[in-house]
Amino acid sequence: MRDELLETIPEFNLIADADLRERTIRTWELAMREGGWTLAALARMPFSLLINPCPVNFIEHTRAVAQIAIKAAEVFADLYGDRVPVQMDILISGGILRDVGKLVEYEEREPGVFVQTAAGKMLRHPFTGVELAARCGLPVEVQHIIAAHAEEGDKVKRTTEATIVHHADFISFHAVLRLGQGKNLESRIGESTSR
Ligand SMILES: [Fe+2]
């Protein structure tokens, strides 16, 4: 399962610090166990229940957000240098894990149809994601990215890393949202009918 996970989300391997990388992987594995997910199921899970049908799956969105965040940080490094420091390992770990709580927020109610769990309605993924990450010993800087990545974090003073991940997430979310906004909080993978 570990090898398959790293093949599916190779961005884990971009975390240079071995301990942080291991804790990041363990958090994902823990969330998969708690939610009873397989990687195949995650590949048919829409990344947002607000978009139905959703043309992008949970794995693809996770990878896109991590990669967009990395590229933004690279631009900062090129143009701003040390004046705007970015902790790349923290950024990548948070970029991968910011939505990991969805593995306990969502369930597959029937084949291909995804909805919020009863608990997920009360504790959205920023909260459950922090809890999962804390149990795996991830540093508070990564927990902060998870906590503040979505609208729950709008009143939080985000770190540079959390700011980048937040916007990377919304670049993907808003670009895809306009393709098919659902009326109910459920979704399935599929081609969009409106542009
Ligand atoms: Fe999210």
Q: Which residues make Cβ contacts (< 8 Å) with residue 109, sequence separation at least 6?
A: 115, 186
C-alpha 146 – ligand 1 centre gap (Å): 8
C-alpha 155 – ligand 1 centre gap (Å): 16
Mean of pLDDT over the chain: 94
C-alpha 150 – ligand 1 centre gap (Å): 5
Q: Can you tell me the distance from the alpha carbon of 57 to that of 39, in angstroms, rounded to the nearest whole number?
A: 11
- Give the chain's end-to-end CA distance (angstroms, integer): 37
DSSP state of 173: H
Q: Is 60 exceeded by the pLDDT of residue 72?
A: yes
Predicted pLDDT of residue 62: 98
C-alpha 140 – ligand 1 centre gap (Å): 18
C-alpha 47 – ligand 1 centre gap (Å): 9
C-alpha 159 – ligand 1 centre gap (Å): 17
The full set of domains in the chain, from first to last, is 2-180 (1.10.3210)
C-alpha 147 – ligand 1 centre gap (Å): 9
Q: Can you tell me the distance from the alpha carbon of 173 to that of 89, in angstroms, rounded to the nearest whole number?
A: 23
Predicted pLDDT of residue 156: 96
* Residue in the block written with tokens 């770190």: 159
Q: Is 80 exceeded by the pLDDT of residue 181?
A: no
Q: Is 80 exceeded by the pLDDT of residue 193?
A: no
C-alpha 99 – ligand 1 centre gap (Å): 5
Output the pTM of the full model.
0.92
pLDDT in tens, 39-62: 999 999 999 998 888 999 999 999
pLDDT in tens, 95-130: 999 999 999 999 999 999 999 999 999 999 999 999
Burial of 120 (0-12, 13-18, 19+ CB in 10 A): buried
C-alpha 17 – ligand 1 centre gap (Å): 25
C-alpha 14 – ligand 1 centre gap (Å): 21
C-alpha 111 – ligand 1 centre gap (Å): 23
Burial of 165 (0-12, 13-18, 19+ CB in 10 A): buried
Q: Can you tell me the distance from the alpha carbon of 141 to that of 177, in angstroms, rounded to the nearest whole number?
A: 29
* Closest to 95 (Cα-Cα) out of 32, 191, 183, 11: 11
Burial of 141 (0-12, 13-18, 19+ CB in 10 A): middle
Q: Who surrounds ion ligand 1 at CB < 5 A?
A: 99, 150
C-alpha 149 – ligand 1 centre gap (Å): 6
C-alpha 113 – ligand 1 centre gap (Å): 19
Mean pLDDT of 66-70: 98
